[in-house]
Amino acid sequence: MQRKPETSAATTAAEQSILDNAITGTYELKSKPDVGKNIGPLSLLIILLKVLITGASGRLGSYVVRELESDHELVLASRTEPPEAISHHPWVRCDVTSFEDCQKAVKGVEAVQHLGAQPWPVDHPGMRAKAEEDGIPFDTTFKSNMLGTYYMLMASVEAGVKTFVFCGSNCSLGHGFRISDTPFPIESLPIDETHPCLPEDSYSYTKRAGEDLLASFSRGHGIRTYATRPAGITPAERREAMKANAGPAKGWNPWLWCWVGSEDVASAHRILMEAAGELPTHDVYFLNGNDTTALESSRELVEKFKPELAEIAESMEGHQSFLSNAKLRGATGWEHKTSWRDEDE
């Protein structure tokens, strides 16, 4: 039986309504809420959650752990032991392609941050030789990213998980890892979530299909699911390298010079999880920096390397990203805070 929390005199009627909805419809209260914690336009009451983080031993895992650990109880899941810096949290050995492992990992949790994935298409004709050298089976990307996400979602529904945040990829568009000689057709700039997706490889496809899989679980089971599309996840050391090695562009970059700070990905994943009660039951968001990794302005890049796109790029200003993060910012108040540029740029 869920209990109604005590509230202070500072709790407004709106805040109380959000809290009531969170408790009765989404979360069970574990501790007294931090009344009015501001995460942007949504002034939410943050309730302690027990959160499973898959792929916790990966490059992004530590950032999400640090972002969540002060406000939530965490359980880490990965195939290998997590780094020492986050090893004080409970850890479950988990291969997401094992349904039994997924069932054990989600036991007793209320939210899942699903970061675990194979990060490149091991069956891509141009990458298969490297994968074979590393002993990676040709179907690893599809199994890990598609079947693994399905198993984790099934286990989550079975365990009564309320919110599932999925680390997808901007590759859902299909502009990277192209197999054919057909260039990705850009129909509008900046590209937003309404732009057609035309993936050709297993990584891009499974990230795009994963979004539809989440949507089907939200429709069928009522679980709240959110997919992000991060682009070029970049920790501090890589940002320093970008700054040191920056030079004039030598040609069109099919990856669109996009990037996002590791810390900014973590903060977006936290906000989506905590704001779930105020968001649609399912949604998809591009997750990238406001600018590009180029020294030239975005319109200069278009005019020099893709003049056929000049007309649809007319509204772009300065180093504005070719991918729009406006939907995420508008829905949650999230802001990209890290930078690789000098402050005066």
Q: How confident is the model at residue 114 (pLDDT cuts 50, 70, 90)?
A: very high
Phi/psi class of residue 252: alpha, beta or left (left: φ > 0; alpha: ψ in -120 to 50)?
A: beta
Q: Does the structural domain 39-236+260-288+325-331 have CATH classification 3.30.300.30?
A: no
Domain locations along the chain: 39-236+260-288+325-331
Q: Which residue has the higher pLDDT, 234 or 40?
A: 234
Q: Which residue has the higher pLDDT, 14 or 97?
A: 97
The Cα 280–Cα 271 span in angstroms is 14
pLDDT at 20 over 60: no
Q: How confident is the model at residue 45 (pLDDT cuts 50, 70, 90)?
A: low
Percent of the chain with pLDDT over 70: 86
pLDDT at 58 over 50: yes
Across 265-289, average pLDDT: 97
The per-residue pLDDT for 3 is 34
pLDDT tens per residue across span 235-246:
999 999 999 999
> 3-state SS string over 61-85?
HHHHHHHHCCCCEEEEEECCCCCHH
pLDDT at 6 over 60: no
The per-residue pLDDT for 170 is 98
Across 44-58, average pLDDT: 87
What sign results for the dihedral spanned by CA atoms 171, 173, 179, 182?
negative
How would DSSP label each residue in 152-184? HHHHHHHHT--EEEEE--GGGGS-SS--SSPPP
pLDDT at 309 over 70: yes
The per-residue pLDDT for 344 is 54
Mean pLDDT lowest among 35-44, 259-268, 277-286:
35-44
Whole-model pTM: value is: 0.86
Q: How confident is the model at residue 115 (pLDDT cuts 50, 70, 90)?
A: very high
Q: How confident is the model at residue 342 (pLDDT cuts 50, 70, 90)?
A: confident
Mean of per-residue pLDDT scores for the chain: 89
pLDDT at 147 over 80: yes
Q: Which two tokens stand for residue 65?
A: 């752990």
Q: Which of 109, 108, 106, 61 is nearest to 86 (CA)?
A: 61
The per-residue pLDDT for 34 is 40
pLDDT at 21 over 80: no
Q: How confident is the model at residue 345 (pLDDT cuts 50, 70, 90)?
A: low
Cβ(163)–Cβ(273) under 8 Å?
yes
